[in-house]
Chains A and B, each alone.
Chain A
């Protein structure tokens, strides 16, 4: 028997995409565990409370006003953005900082895959924390009885607006108008009120 008579045996083919995914998951988990983003989250939480949540509670309890304050004016993004950028730069420069760039370039795993895992872990932490913080804030709003702006609760402004505030004064003035004038004004401007282009202190 010689080797020329032996039948060639083929190895069963593996699914082409399964292996990279299987090997990427532990790397991503490792990067998530070793990411620097969680260290900065307490500071962002404090800023988020001070800059986004606390001032927004001074607005009238209407979703459109509170959302406009936080999202429309970009307070929530500003609270996150600089810190996420700083941490991302820190994570991205890790190999150069430690002098291991040449070492890891020679490994089997493509550098793009490894760096993508670092980026993905940072992004997951940042986006996840952002969603949690915003979710908690809107949950607190919901508990505070924040409502949609409609004809009824605009008519009832005087009942919930803080006394001596600008909204209260506006409510008093608005309530003194004839009913037909109020109806006409609201019919014209309700869309602008809902979109945040018009605030309640701009009532006639």
Chain B
């Protein structure tokens, strides 16, 4: 008996597993989310939403000017952006890229979905009290800062992608001690400032495009797969 002439599986042999686990694309998305620690990221985002709610509800504030007034909401928004950016880190390195046909779409979907989730939970948290600028400014700030994180992931790797939002918030806080007029410091601009909205949207769009097309950099500094070289970090 040989396999010659057999061109398909016996009826029911290959499809027995599929109905139980759902469609293939859903399984792929679930596995991708698990490899990127998306459940942990969602839990952290929810925690940041609760933190924002508590900060606004109990009027946590720092005495001072514009920089001090925006410090707590801005740091929480930056934390959310950093969490999203770090999820671009994958443990499989180049081997995944060589075989993953749907990887760009998964990267795009994960980044966009997590950003939407972050805006959602932070907007819910903002119901705890008065948020400077309101939900529209929140959307602008989170999207823009997330864009810096995604761009950092492309340049420096997913493991260090948090450094981009962190650097941006430090630069912003320094600028807020003055009276920033540049739209690139979008948290310092009024809610309906068109230039600030365009800059934030542009950075977010650039981040999404680059993370979709190129993915987070797999560098010796961030490669834990150990394939590139046996680095100790």
Q: B42 to chain A: closest CB distance in Å? A: 20
CB-defined contacts of A90 to chain B, threshold 8 Å: 159-160, 233
Whether B174 lies near A50 (C-beta < 8 A) is yes
Q: B185 to chain A: closest CB distance in Å? A: 12
Q: How far is the CA of A82 from the CA of B79 in the complex (A)?
A: 12
Whether A50 lies near B171 (C-beta < 8 A) is yes
Whether A35 lies near B233 (C-beta < 8 A) is yes
Partner of A79 from the list B160, B170, B233 (CB cut-off 8 Å) is B170
CB-defined contacts of A86 to chain B, threshold 8 Å: 162-163, 166
Interface membership of chain A positions 12-40, coded 1 if the CB is closer than 8 angstroms to chain B and 0 otherwise: 00000000000000000011011110011
Interface residues in A19-75 (C-beta closer than 8 Å to B): 30-31, 33-36, 39-40, 43, 46-47, 50-51, 55, 75
Whether A83 lies near B166 (C-beta < 8 A) is yes
Partner of A51 from the list B160, B170, B232 (CB cut-off 8 Å) is B170
Whether A40 lies near B163 (C-beta < 8 A) is yes
The A interface is mostly helix, strand or loop, or mixed, namely helix
Partner of B232 from the list A34, A47, A50 (CB cut-off 8 Å) is A34
Partner of A36 from the list B167, B171, B174, B233 (CB cut-off 8 Å) is B233
Q: How far is the CA of A116 from the CA of B202 in the complex (A)?
A: 44
Interface membership of chain B positions 130-173, coded 1 if the CB is closer than 8 angstroms to chain A and 0 otherwise: 00000000000000000000000000100110110011001100
**A-B contact list, 29 entries, CB within 8 Å:** A31-B232, A34-B231, A34-B233, A35-B233, A36-B221, A39-B156, A39-B160, A39-B221, A40-B160, A40-B163, A43-B163, A47-B167, A47-B170, A47-B171, A50-B171, A50-B174, A51-B171, A55-B174, A75-B174, A79-B170, A83-B163, A86-B166, A90-B159, A90-B160, A91-B233, A94-B232, A94-B233, A97-B224, A98-B224
- A interface residues (Cβ-Cβ under 8 A, vs B): 30-31, 33-36, 39-40, 43, 46-47, 50-51, 55, 75, 78-79, 82-83, 86, 90-91, 94, 97-98
